[in-house]
Amino acid sequence: LDKLYFSILHLFYRGITTLLRTPQRILAATVVRHARENFNNLINQHINQMAENADTGDKTLENSTNHESEKIPDKKIPIVESVNFTTKQETENMETHAHHLHNAPGSGWKHYFFEFLMLFLAVFCGFLAENWREELKEHKREKEFIYSIVEDIKSDTLQSNRTLLQLKRLRTGIDSVLILLSSPEIVYNSNKAYSLWTKNLGLEVFVSNDRTIQQLLSSGELRLIRNKTVSDRIMIYEQTLKKYYTQSDLMYGAVVNMTSYTQVFDFVNLNKNMNIPIPLTEQGKKSLNEAYARLQLWNRGLMGLISWLDAVNQEGTRLVTFIQKEYDIK
């Protein structure tokens, strides 16, 4: 019966292993590993108990034999009788151990079915508990990511507002320079155009604090955001940021090539005295039209950059408002 019992447990273990081969393989492997350890411990306990009982029987037999030998030193005990006695003693010990080991309710096949049912419930409940624990862990991680995203976007909104103000100020200055370059008096008096162009030559920097979004995308943990609308809006915000960065890179490349104004103005005399009118250089009179065209293209690129940064700002504000509503965050 013991062999039958262990065979049933082994077959059940193999069946559970097969059934648990689902997409949650890591979780199933953990549960099966615990079941395997419990099963091996049960077998080892059974074997150790049998060995201890056998040792007890051997010691009892040895003491009995020595006692008889002292009483009758000349009498030899037949080998067959000694072997039979040992076998009988071990059998009695095994039966006694089996009686204590299988002390579950019922008898016969009912007893083994009860053992089978208990093991099944233990494995199944362990599986449910592990699954529930992983779900709680993922839910906690989702909350942490959501709070971090909200803080990042709030930081982006503050910085983008400051950058927008600076970019709009630059664009206003460039508009004034274009008006001065198109006036007839620029040829004789370039002081104001030079001053405005110098002040507004440059580009304000905006760098998004998108560490949480990048972590979600690179590690594949975006799946933890169970609200599909929220995850979709996060991706829209990320795509808007990419479009802004593309335009920003183009503008940085263009500002390096903004060297035409160096040929238009007389830097030496303008830096000496800005109170008297300083005309354009001879080369500047020839390249004035080219300088105007380059500056106008720069101004249009600046308008596009402002437009994309404003889109980033608005999309971030909408995303924060939506997340706060969906996750009840204040």
pLDDT digits (tens, 9 = 90+) for 133-172: 777 777 788 888 899 999 999 999 999 999 999 999 999 9
Q: 38 and 162 share a domain?
A: no
Given a contact cutoff of 8 angstroms between Cβ atoms, the answer to whether 191 and 274 are in contact is yes
Q: Is residue 171 part of a domain?
A: yes
pTM listed for this prediction: 0.60
Q: Which residue has the tokens 């292993």?
A: 17
pLDDT confidence band for 37 (50 / 70 / 90): low
Q: How many structural domains comprise the chain?
A: 2
pLDDT one-digit tens code per residue, 310-328: 999 999 999 999 999 988 8
Q: Is residue 128 part of a domain?
A: no
Q: Is residue 116 part of a domain?
A: no
Nearest to 269 by CA among 173, 191, 201: 191
Q: Which residue has the tokens 């579950």?
A: 104
Residue ranges making up the domain that contains 50: 2-103
Backbone φ and ψ for 78, nearest 5 degrees, come out as -60, 145
Q: 198 and 247 share a domain?
A: yes
Q: 173 and 87 share a domain?
A: no
Given a contact cutoff of 8 angstroms between Cβ atoms, the answer to whether 243 and 308 are in contact is yes
Q: 89 and 189 share a domain?
A: no
Q: 155 and 228 share a domain?
A: yes
Return the CA Rg of the chain.
44
